[in-house]
Amino acid sequence: MSRSADSRGAFRRIVLLVIASAAASATLAAGTSPRFGFGKPVSEADLAAWDIDVRPDGKGLPEGSGGVMGGEAIYEAKCASCHGSFGESNEYHVLAGGVGSLKSAHPERTTGSKLNHATTLFDYIHRAMPYNAPQSLTDDEVYALTAYVLYLNDIVGDDLVLDRESLPKLVMPNAEGFYPGVGFMSVDGEPDVKAPACMKNCPMSGEETSSLPESVRGAHGNLALQSRPLGYIRQGESTAEVQAAVAGGGATAVAEVAPETLAEQVGCLACHAVVGTRKLGPSFNEVQARYQAEAGARAMLLAKLEAGGAGNWGEMPMPSVSYLPATDRERLVDWILSTPATGATP
């Protein structure tokens, strides 16, 4: 999200350069010997096509309007294939959920939980989505989709309609969560890295001349694990603990929880019942009943957890859970294959 804001200054400078060079070439074109003989002056329309940024206070928002009701159908048609019907996004950025969780032990960084300005959501969708056809949406559609994504986050009700007046007035749950004006890790309010460009006799070998203090390195835990799409994260509170856990195959982190608790914690039970009715995937005792007599079932199921895939129970794919430590996956499969086959298969 911050990328669009960060690049704004750079974008302005480019526009100014384009204007300056257009002015220069216009002068030249009028003269007798144009030096390059190509290019054309930038028109208002050309500039307008580039000048699409929307600021936190709403400056730059276009005319038009759209609401949650209208947004749903557009979302299903143009966004759900990548972001999921509920914004849960198995593969791509998670759009919904986790609101209010950022300061908890299990922060979920989603669009809804992290954004500080609703106007940025409009800007982002308008500028960059759908990923496969950016800037193909009408302004009304972008208003409707903005409203719908906010609705998926339970931030607004289903009767919300947005326009350039109302959108900037929405207060996002994480409005106060950003700290502007400090260096990366503030050293007297200045960025703590100074990197003069080396133009000659530059060192050829990489040599570490400074490093972040441990208090800073561990400040947010292991972001890669926290950003995984499913379930919440069992981990130590510091990077060192997480690294130790991962190096040890996850053993330190998981030794004490029972397999069923583990399945609950890492999100399996969102799609699988242990016993009984089929949810998105088969119930685990159904899986057990099908494979109990089959040699190689354990290896096959481990491969499935690693790679994901569909076809054994229906069209819906099982997501890859390769981000779980191998020992967790083995415990889960061994447990599934040993759950009592109660015969409650639907």
Q: In the complex, which residues of this chain contact ligand HEC (CB under 6 A)? A: 1, 78-79, 81-83, 92-93, 95, 111, 121, 124-125, 129-132, 145, 149, 230, 263, 266-268, 270-272, 280-282, 287, 301, 304-305, 309-314, 316, 318-319, 321, 332, 336
Nearer to ligand HEC, 42 or 55 (CB): 55
Query: Please, what is the minimum distance in Å from the beta carbon of residue 327 to ligand HEC?
Result: 13
Categorise residue 343: left if φ over 0, alpha if ψ from -120 to 50, beta otherwise: left
Nearer to ligand HEC, 24 or 73 (CB): 73
Nearer to ligand HEC, 74 or 218 (CB): 74
The residues, ordered by sequence, that sit 6+ positions from 317 with a Cβ below 8 Å of its Cβ are 308, 309, 310
Residue 280 dihedral angles phi and psi, to the nearest 5°: -65, -35
**What's the CA gap between 261 and 136, in Å, rounded?**
45
Query: Please, what is the minimum distance in Å from the beta carbon of residue 52 to ligand HEC?
Result: 16
Nearer to ligand HEC, 133 or 202 (CB): 133
Query: Please, what is the minimum distance in Å from the beta carbon of residue 114 to ligand HEC?
Result: 7
Nearer to ligand HEC, 54 or 79 (CB): 79
Are the C-beta atoms of residues 254 and 328 closer than 8 Å to each other? Answer: yes
Query: Please, what is the minimum distance in Å from the beta carbon of residue 246 to ligand HEC?
Result: 17
Torsion of CA 109, 115, 121, 127, to 10 degrees: -80
Nearer to ligand HEC, 26 or 99 (CB): 99
Give the amino acid at 92: Y
Query: Please, what is the minimum distance in Å from the beta carbon of residue 10 to ligand HEC?
Result: 17
Burial status of residue 316 (CB atoms within 10 A of its CB: 0-12, 13-18, 19 or more): exposed
Query: Please, what is the minimum distance in Å from the beta carbon of residue 89 to ligand HEC?
Result: 8
Nearest to 297 by CA among 340, 337, 338, 339: 337
Query: Please, what is the minimum distance in Å from the beta carbon of residue 160 to ligand HEC?
Result: 15
Categorise residue 171: left if φ over 0, alpha if ψ from -120 to 50, beta otherwise: beta
Q: Hey, what long-range contacts does 95-99 have (CB within 8 A, 24 or more apart)? A: 95/149, 95/152, 95/153, 96/149, 96/152, 96/153, 97/153, 99/153, 99/154, 99/155, 99/173
Query: Please, what is the minimum distance in Å from the beta carbon of residue 85 to ligand HEC?
Result: 12
**What's the CA gap between 95 and 306, in Å, rounded?**
24
Nearer to ligand HEC, 132 or 215 (CB): 132
- Calculate the alpha carbon distances from 10 to 3, 13, 125, 273 in Å: 11, 5, 20, 52
Query: Please, what is the minimum distance in Å from the beta carbon of residue 315 to ligand HEC?
Result: 8
